[in-house]
A and B are shown apart, each in its own frame.
Chain A
Amino acid sequence: MKPPPFDYTAPRSLGEALRALADAAGDGKVIAGGQSLVPLMNFRFARPGLLVDVNRIPELTGIRRRDGELRIGATTRQADAEQSGIIARGWPLLRQALPHVAHQQIRNRGTVGGSVAHADPAAEICSVLLAYGGRVEVASVRGVREIDASDLFVGQFVTTIEADEILTAVVVPPPPAGTGTAFHEVARRHGDFALAGAAAAVTTDDRGRCERASLCLLGAAPTPIRRAAAEAHLVGNELTDAVLAEAVALATADIEPPSDVHGSSAYRTRAAREMAARALTEAFARSARDRGQRKEAS
C-alpha cells in the first residue's frame, strides 16, 4: 500500500519547523523516525496534508546529563540510546527496556521522542518514562512548556501534546542511590509488541525494606499505567512472598486488557501479573545488590 499525497518540508531549525506546523493549522504532522507514522500512512489511516520532518534539526538530537537529569533529544535514535553509557549507568531501567523496542532495524531509525509522542499503550519507552517520573519538553510558536509523564498519556495514541506543538526532549530525573530496576515483557516474538509487560524501580534501606517503589504496566490499558496502590503496599516492607502477592494483586486487580488474535484479555491479565512479579522481585534483588556493593566500597 502506498500513502496518499502530501507536502513535505525538512527545516534545519526548530523555529522553522514550529512555524511550518503552525501554518498547517492542524493538517500538519511531525515525522521523526516514522516507524509508526509511515505504516499508518501506508494503510491510509493517517493522511496528513503536510509532513514536517524534524530529522535535520541538530538541536533535537543527543543524550546528555544536565543538572543531574537525563535529557534525551527527541530525534535521538533508539539504537543510540541503547548504546549510551550515560543511560546504562544512570538510568538502567531505560537500558533494560530498549532491547525490547521492536527490532534492530526499527530501533536504528525509530526515535525516543517519537515513541513517546506516538503513545502506543504497549510502548516500552512510555512506560519507563512514567515509572521514572519523567517529563517531556514541548515547543510551539506560542512558547515552550513541560508536561509530566503522569499528565501526558490520555488514551491509545492520544497525548496532551497539541497539534501545533513539537516534542523536543524527554527528561528523566535521577533515581535515588540504591535503586534497583527491572523490565519484563511477554511478546510473541522478541521485538513484537508486548502482550503484557512491567517496569519496576525499587529503592530499599539497609535492612532491605522498601523506601520507594515505582511499578508501571504496559499493554494492560489504553495507556501505560502507574500502580500507586501496589507501590504504597510495598513501601516500608521487605519483599516477602505475601507482600509480593498482595502488591501484584493490587497492581492487576482492575486491569482490563484488550482481547485480540494474539491473546485474550484473561491471558494478558495473567501475563501482566507474572511480569509484575518478576519485575518487582528482580528490582528488589538489584537494589539489595547495589546496597551491598556500596557498603563494600565505603
Chain B
Amino acid sequence: MRVEINLNGKPFAADVEPRMLLSDFIRHEACLTGTHVGCEQGGCGACTIQVDGRAVRSCLLFAIQVDGSTVRTVEALSDERDGALHPLQEAFRECHGLQCGFCTPGFLMSLEPALASGPLDDEQAIRDAISGNICRCTGYAGIVDAVRHASNTIWNDPDIGTVDDLGSLGEDAPRSGAGDE
C-alpha cells in the first residue's frame, strides 16, 4: 500500500505492506537511522518520534496509519543550514545526558514538545516528563540536569531568544482543550 508523508519537511512516499511498523518505515524505507528501535512493544521509548506535532512511539504505529501526516524524527532537530545543534541537544552534550546514546533520540523527541509547552525546571516534573523513556547508562541524573539546562536556555536566556525564534518548536504542540467541542 502507498504511504505518503511529510518527513522532516520534505515529501516522502513508498509502497509497503500494511504490517510495516512506522519505525521500520523510517529506518529502512526512508533510510533515516537516527530513530532507534529498542523493544518494539512500547516500553522503552527509544523509537519516539513526532507525528503531527505529538511525541509517539513509532513501533506502535503502522506506517500505513500515518499516510498524509507530518512526521518529524531526530534528524530534524539540528539546524538544516549549518548543522548547529538544537538547544536540547546542546544541553544533553553539556550535562552528560548520554553515554552510549542509544536512547537519546527518543528522549530528545519526547522532550522537545514538552519543553515547547512551558519551562521544565522542577525535578519531579522533569522525571515525569521522561518517565516514558528508558536509559540504561546515565542513571538519569545527567538527563535531568540536561532538561533543566535546556529549559533555562530556551525560556530564560535573552541571548538565545524566545521560543518564537526557535522556528517550528511548539507550533503543533497539543493545545489545551483540543478535544472539546
For B54, the closest partner residue in chain A by CB is A108
Question: Which of B60, B174, B177 is most buried by chain A, counting CB atoms within 10 A of its CB?
Answer: B60
> Is A38 a contact of B18 with CB atoms below 8 Å?
no
The reply on B128 being an interface residue by CB < 8 A is: yes
> Is B56 a contact of A108 with CB atoms below 8 Å?
yes
> Is B17 a contact of A5 with CB atoms below 8 Å?
yes
Partner of B65, one of A43, A53, A85, A103: A53
CB contacts under 8 Å to A, within B48-69, are 48, 51, 54-57, 59-62, 64-65
The reply on A64 being an interface residue by CB < 8 A is: yes
Query: Which stretch from B39-47, B91-99, B146-154 is at the chain A interface?
Result: B39-47
> How far in angstroms is the closest Cβ of chain B from A1?
5
A81 vs B127: C-alpha distance in the bound complex, in angstroms?
A: 22
CB contacts under 8 Å to B, within A1-57, are 1-8, 10, 31, 34-35, 38-39, 41-43, 51, 53, 55
A34 vs B45: C-alpha distance in the bound complex, in angstroms?
A: 16
> Is B177 a contact of A106 with CB atoms below 8 Å?
no
Residues in B neighbouring A215, C-beta threshold 8 A: none
Partner of A83, one of B24, B40, B178: B178
> Is B179 a contact of A38 with CB atoms below 8 Å?
no
Decide yes or no: A63 and B21 within 8 Å by CB, A39-B60, A105-B55 being known contacts.
Answer: no
A116 vs B1: C-alpha distance in the bound complex, in angstroms?
A: 30
> Is A83 a contact of B132 with CB atoms below 8 Å?
no
> Is B179 a contact of A80 with CB atoms below 8 Å?
yes
Residues in B neighbouring A31, C-beta threshold 8 A: 65
> Is B60 a contact of A38 with CB atoms below 8 Å?
yes
Residues in B neighbouring A39, C-beta threshold 8 A: 40-42, 60
A83 vs B41: C-alpha distance in the bound complex, in angstroms?
A: 26
Partner of A38, one of B55, B61, B175: B61
The reply on A84 being an interface residue by CB < 8 A is: yes
A6 vs B60: C-alpha distance in the bound complex, in angstroms?
A: 16
> Is B60 a contact of A34 with CB atoms below 8 Å?
yes
Residues in A neighbouring B57, C-beta threshold 8 A: 35, 105-106, 109
A80 vs B178: C-alpha distance in the bound complex, in angstroms?
A: 6
> How far in angstroms is the closest Cβ of chain A from B26?
15
> Is B48 a contact of A84 with CB atoms below 8 Å?
no
The reply on A258 being an interface residue by CB < 8 A is: no
Partner of A8, one of B18, B56, B174, B180: B18
> Is B40 a contact of A42 with CB atoms below 8 Å?
yes
> Is B132 a contact of A81 with CB atoms below 8 Å?
no
For B68, the closest partner residue in chain A by CB is A56
The reply on B81 being an interface residue by CB < 8 A is: no
Partner of B180, one of A7, A77, A85, A191: A85
Residues in B neighbouring A10, C-beta threshold 8 A: 64-65
The reply on B82 being an interface residue by CB < 8 A is: no
> How far in angstroms is the closest Cβ of chain B from A37?
9
Residues in A neighbouring B45, C-beta threshold 8 A: 103, 105
> Is A106 a contact of B42 with CB atoms below 8 Å?
yes
Residues in A neighbouring B21, C-beta threshold 8 A: 2-3, 38, 42
> How far in angstroms is the closest Cβ of chain A from B19?
5
For A62, the closest partner residue in chain B by CB is B181
Residues in B neighbouring A41, C-beta threshold 8 A: 19
A31 vs B60: C-alpha distance in the bound complex, in angstroms?
A: 11
> Is A85 a contact of B18 with CB atoms below 8 Å?
no
18 A-B contact pairs sorted by A residue (CB < 8 Å): A2-B19, A2-B40, A6-B18, A8-B18, A34-B65, A53-B65, A55-B65, A62-B179, A76-B179, A83-B175, A83-B176, A85-B177, A102-B132, A104-B110, A104-B129, A109-B57, A189-B131, A190-B128
Q: Which 4 A-B pairs have the closest CB atoms?
A: A103-B132, A80-B179, A8-B18, A108-B54
Which residues of B come within 8 Å of A, CB atoms? Answer: 1, 17-19, 21, 24, 40-42, 45, 48, 51, 54-57, 59-62, 64-65, 110, 114, 127-129, 131-132, 174-181
